[in-house]
Copies of this chain bind each other. A is one copy, B any other.
């Protein structure tokens, strides 16, 4: 099953861009009358037939449309401090997309060794996971923002912060209702600073634990992602 990401689809005809066309005709060796699948990233899953293969473009005729494909029953937003080794963040984005996530924001914290992320590269990782896992909804990647600025943003829903410091903590499932909007903060290697934790608590974030073992940043973020999807399934 060949899947292409076509966010700008808006009629029964579609022309793949040069890169996708090359992949379709040269790499996959697909030709006229072959059937492929399209995903628009907004819940639309399409079946399309190849009408014409020119040098640079593959022309498609949409055969079937399915809307709200794999619609989720909750909204999960994870704000994560980018890992020092960017591969680990990219790995998280791939896995979270497979398992189910709606929104990701890289947050720059006091102890973040990495202060800059290339959103374009991360966007590509998410899109390829979207195609691979046949997720009709494309997770939204926000621009990196400082931790303090992020906490100033309004959010209506369950706000949680996962940290490793002492103090009272519960499991996510003990803190939240199902079918809600969730926002979970995941800190950098070395955890949030005590000041950052206080700031979150004063902003209505509930402290949660993800278990007794020491988890890397990207593992903690994925654990939170698994748990929220689990309690909502």
Q: Which residues of A contact B (CB under 8 A)?
A: 70, 91, 95, 98-100, 132-135, 171, 211-216, 219, 222-223, 226-227, 229-230, 233
Number of copies: 2
Cα-based distance from A214 to B91 in the complex (angstroms): 16
- A219:B91 contact, CB within 8 angstroms: no
In the complex, 12 of the A-B residue pairs with CB atoms within 8 angstroms, ordered by the A residue number, are A70-B212, A95-B219, A95-B222, A98-B213, A98-B215, A98-B219, A99-B213, A134-B213, A134-B214, A135-B213, A171-B233, A226-B230
CB proximity of A213 to chain B, nearest CB, Å = 5
B70, B99, B216, B227: the one contacting A98 at CB < 8 Å is: B216
Chain B residue at smallest Cβ distance from A233? B211
Contact A213 B70 (CB under 8 A): yes
Docked Cα-Cα span, A134 to B164, in Å, equals 14
A226 CB contact (under 8 Å) in B135, B171, B226, B233 = B226
Residues of chain B with a CB closer than 8 A to A133's CB: 213-216
Which residues of chain B have C-beta atoms less than 8 A from A229's C-beta? 211
- Who on chain B is nearest to A133 by CB? B214
Contact partners of A222 in chain B: CB under 8 A: 95, 222
Q: Which residues of B contact A70 (CB under 8 A)?
A: 212-213
CA–CA, A27 and B42, complex, Å: 50
Q: Are B212 and A99 in contact (CB under 8 A)?
A: no
Return the chain B residue nearest A230 by Cβ.
B230
Contact A99/B233 with A70-B213, A133-B214, A134-B213 known, Cβ cut-off 8 Å: no
Report how far A183 CA is from B153 CA in the complex, Å.
45
Closest CB in chain B relative to A182 CB, distance in Å: 16
CB-CB < 8 A to A212: which residues of B?
70
Shortest Cβ distance from residue A133 to the other chain B in the assembled complex, whole angstroms: 5
Looking at A91, A171, A211, the one whose CB has the most chain B CB atoms below 10 A away is A211
